[in-house]
Each structure stands twice: as structure tokens, then as C-alpha cells.
Amino acid sequence: MSGFVAEAGVIFERSEPGRQGIEFPEVDVPQSELPAGWRREADFHLPEVSELEMVRHFTRLSQKNFAIDIGFYPLGSCTMKYNPKVNDAIANLPGFQDLHPYQDPATIQGALELMWELQAWLGEIAGLPGVTLQPSAGAHGELTGALIIRAYHEAQGRPRKTILVPDSAHGTNPATAAMVGYDTREIPTNAQGNVDIDKLREMMTEDVAGLMITNPSTLGVFEERIQEVADIVHAGGGLVYMDGANMNAMVGIARPGDMGMDILHYNLHKTMTVPHGGGGPGAGATAVREDLVKFLPVPLVERSEDGTFYLDYDRPHTVGRIRAFYGNFNNMVRAFVYMRVLGKDGLLDMSQTAVLNANYLKERLRGIYHLPLDRTCKHEVIFTSKWLKEKTSHLAHPVRTLDVAKRLLDYGIHAPTVYFPLTVEECMLIEPTETESKRTLDRFVEVMTRIAEEAEEQPELVTEAPHNTPLRRLDEVRAARHPDLRWRPGSEFST
């Protein structure tokens, strides 16, 4: 970010024949050739660089990226909170790290106990007793839940074909329902951001298998009539799936099971500080009510009467496996450590502070950016900068939310989620999380205020942002439609 420009390029361009970054030990066993049929004749074009070149290259690359360890990251719906390093230290202990999934369960009792306890804690927090740790992500937990909804109806001999989804749901909800073969029907939300109850009543017909609802919704607010919503779906013979990716607002405060939710997934890689972003492995533990436990994926971790732990595959009603082995085990360790360190009171404090921080930003920024929903928010708050676009509509390039987001990067702050949810024009979904200090939140308010001033006084400063990042504004449409992720020798490459 300084004016100094380091040597650029991809690592292949640094390659020089004969350079190497590793010393192999002398061969001390007789050499033998691989059988010819096992060998491939190919030129792999591996880069040949020294250790120092390699370290500089990757360190430089890492500095071009934004990360929670570098600055404030208020990306709504994603819960980019700080991930304590102790989680990694413990997940990397050889006793966890070096396990093999095919080891005899007698030799991995500690790991199984950890999973068993984590299942129990997550069940307790959800108010839903059956938990699988297998899903690799939030959407994968949704898939597991939708398969369970299907299995539930099939077991009763009355398969149904539709899933209802409010328009305030996360986009993965309808996508998941469609993946399992359901038609989806969208329920509108009312002016307060709640599901339109009359519409729900009307739409809850006999072909509806269930409802997938995000709560708190993508508008950052709690579904106020959630119990009534659940009662209507249940009366019609359906199940309620709650997308619990936003549990950061609720842990220890309210239990979804007590509100009539039947199935819920967690994003342990949001709420429970498993690192995420960049497509890394997640953990989407999924919890169900008592009578749905029999449908959970195999294996579940169980404890026998003599106190030993085992992997239970003998479950005739299971929806089957939803991935190889048992889930991303090291991420379970991270979530376990985090929960263990915080304890019951700490987890409650976590959610209360997350909600407090979001409401603090809501109050401090309400006069500058506008609130489409003026209600107490949960862990995130939604603003619109539609007024800014209108005020600058005389310009060739009126100032939009996207410009505000890009300008934030110049101040070392990651952009919030923008243009999502789709139901709010020019929106910004801001999620500060509980790990940020008042000082950081105050600086954010200051920067947001300054950007609003810049937008009026020097609009091109905002509409041409970012200015201080390794790359200026990207053509996002082209990047999404024509991704070109492979470097070939001689291809054009700019830093």
C-alpha cells in the first residue's frame, strides 16, 4: 500500500533453470525405476526458485489481500469476526492433526469425545437434540436439512413437492431446495421486514413440504412472529428449516427449537470462529428435533454404556452420507476450543455484544445513510445510500453504494455486503461483530461520514475509488462472466 512497488509477476516468471528451494537428503536405499506403465512423459513447467524467492513471492501476495487480521471487515451476513489463534494452535496438535480417518475407534477416543461433546453443545444451544457435524458448509447443512425434509414426508407415504422461502432468505435457501428437486415459492415480507402471515396462510397448501427461513433474516432483523409462522407450517403438515448462519445474534439468548424450528444449520465458520473466506473448508453442523434424529447422515458419534465412544452406522432411516468420512474434523476442534474458552456466559456475551455493536452503528450512522427499516436490528444493520444517488443524479456518474464500498478500501476497511438483500435498493449490509472495539466502530463512522462528504464535494474521488489498493477498480461483470484463472507462459499479466 506504500508508494514502493515491489517486483511483480507470477512465480513462473521468477523461475531460473537449476534454482531450487529444498535440499533432498542423499538416497540411502537402492534406487529403482518406476515401471514404465506408471510413468507419464510430460513437461510440468514447475517454477524453479530459491527458498528466499518463494518466501518473498508469497509474502508479497499475502500483503495484497485483505484479511480480518489486517483491518475491519464488516461484511454483512458473513460474520467476519476475529478467529483466535489458540484455536489453530490446538487444532494443530499432532494428536488431532495426524489422525487417519480409518483408524480404529479405540485409538481415537479423545477425538470422538470432542465430537460427541460438540454435538451435545450445539444441540443444547439450538434446542434441537440431534446434531450431525458432517456438512462442510452452511449450504451443505441446508442440503442435509432439505434431504431430511424429503425423507420425513416420504416415510409418511406422502411426498410433497414445494418449499416456501421468504424473499428475505439467503440465496442459498431456494437454491438448496431446488437441488433436492423441490419447486420453490417466494413469500413476500411486509414493511416491517417480517414474513407476510396472511400470504403464508394462503400459500401453505397440501403440496408444501416445508418452509426455509433465515432468522435473523438477511435484513438483519428478527422474525417477530416466528412462532406463528411455525404453527401455520406445522398445521399444514410441513416442517420448518431455519437457516442459522446468523446465530451470532442468538446464542444463549433464544433457542430456535423453542420457537418451533425443526431443523437448523450452524455456520461454525462464522459463529464459532472457524476461519473462512477464500473458499476454505467450513463446518455446517446441522441440528434436528427428536423425531427427525433417525434421518441424520451416518455416522453419528455415540457413547456406549461403558463410556466408550463409537461411530454409529447402524441407522436404517438415515439419508445416507453427505460427504466422505466425518466432516472437517480440524474445524470441529477449532469450534470446540472457542466454545470451551468462552463457556456459557462468554457465548451469551458474544451474541449480546454483536447485537449491541450493530445497533451502535445503526444509531451513529442513521443521520448520514438511511435506514430502510427503522427497527432494533440484530447482529447486522442495513442502510441504503439511495439518497446519495438521487442527490448526485446530475453527474455523469452518480455516486452509488458500490462507489462508497470501493472508497472504504482506500481507508483500509473492507467493504460491507452490497446490493444484498435484493429487496432493498442501493443497500449496504453492515455486520461489525462483537470482536471490534468501540474505537474501531467510531473510526468506521468517521470514515463513512467523510465518504458521504466526499461524495458531494469531490464525487470523482468516490466514483473512481479505490486509489490506494494494489489493483484499481475491476470489471466485476467480466470477472464473473469470463473468469480467466489460469496463467500461461507469455499471457498478459498485470499486478
Q: Among residues 118, 146, 233, 245, which is the contact residue for ligand PLP, using CB under 6 A?
A: 245
Q: Tell me the three cell numbers of residue 47.
A: 517454477
Q: Closest separation between CB of residue 151 and ligand PLP, Å?
A: 21
Q: Closest separation between CB of residue 433 and ligand PLP, Å?
A: 13
Count of residues in contact with ligand PLP, rule CB under 6 A: 14
Q: Closest separation between CB of residue 260 and ligand PLP, Å?
A: 19
Q: How far apart are the first and last CA of the chain?
A: 13
Query: E strands along 369-470, which residues?
Result: 381-384, 417-418, 427-430
> Which residues lie below 8 Å from residue 167, measured CB to CB, with a gap of 6+?
186, 187, 188, 189, 421, 422, 423
Q: Closest separation between CB of residue 270 and ligand PLP, Å?
A: 6
Residue whose C-beta lies closest to ligand PLP: 138
Q: Is 162 one of the binding residues for ligand PLP (CB under 6 A)?
A: no
Rounded-to-integer distance, Cα 162 and Cα 182, Å: 5
Tally DSSP H helices, then E strands, for the chain: 14, 12
The contact pattern for ligand PLP, residues 184-213, with x = CB under 6 A and - = no contact, is ------------------------------
Q: Which of 126, 73, 78, 122 is nearest to 245 (CA)?
A: 78
Rounded-to-integer distance, Cα 136 and Cα 331, Å: 10
Residues 143 and 176 sit within 8 Å (Cβ to Cβ): yes
Q: Is 137 one of the binding residues for ligand PLP (CB under 6 A)?
A: yes
Q: Closest separation between CB of residue 162 and ligand PLP, Å?
A: 20
Residues 209 and 161 sit within 8 Å (Cβ to Cβ): yes
Q: Among residues 153, 170, 362, 378, which is the contact residue for ligand PLP, using CB under 6 A?
A: 170
Q: Closest separation between CB of residue 217 and ligand PLP, Å?
A: 8
Q: How far is CA 210 from the centre of its chain?
A: 24
Instruction: CB nearer to ligand PLP: give 293 or 405.
Output: 405
Rounded-to-integer distance, Cα 95 and Cα 116, Å: 17
Q: Is 134 one of the binding residues for ligand PLP (CB under 6 A)?
A: no
Q: Among residues 83, 119, 214, 433, which is the contact residue for ligand PLP, using CB under 6 A?
A: 214
Q: Is 243 one of the binding residues for ligand PLP (CB under 6 A)?
A: yes
Instruction: CB nearer to ligand PLP: give 131 or 399.
Output: 131
Rounded-to-integer distance, Cα 271 and Cα 432, Å: 13
Rounded-to-integer distance, Cα 164 and Cα 161, Å: 10
Q: Closest separation between CB of residue 141 and ligand PLP, Å?
A: 8
Instruction: CB nearer to ligand PLP: give 145 or 257.
Output: 145
Q: Closest separation between CB of residue 1 and ligand PLP, Å?
A: 29
The contact pattern for ligand PLP, residues 256-295, with x = CB under 6 A and - = no contact, is -----------x--------------x-x-----------
Q: Which of 81, 69, 72, 59 is nearest to 11 (CA)?
A: 59
Residues 357 and 432 sit within 8 Å (Cβ to Cβ): yes
Residues 166 and 189 sit within 8 Å (Cβ to Cβ): yes
Rounded-to-integer distance, Cα 139 and Cα 169, Å: 13
Q: Is 130 one of the binding residues for ligand PLP (CB under 6 A)?
A: no
Residues 166 and 203 sit within 8 Å (Cβ to Cβ): no
The contact pattern for ligand PLP, residues 20-49, with x = CB under 6 A and - = no contact, is ------------------------------
Instruction: CB nearer to ligand PLP: give 281 or 372.
Output: 281
H or E stretch at 265? strand 263-266
The contact pattern for ligand PLP, residues 309-338, with x = CB under 6 A and - = no contact, is ------------------------------
Q: Is 172 one of the binding residues for ligand PLP (CB under 6 A)?
A: yes
Q: Is 246 one of the binding residues for ligand PLP (CB under 6 A)?
A: yes
Q: Which stretch binds ligand PLP (CB under 6 A): 4-12, 88-96, 132-140, 300-308?
A: 132-140
- Binding region for ligand PLP (CB under 6 A): 77-78, 137-139, 170, 172, 214, 243, 245-246, 267, 282, 284
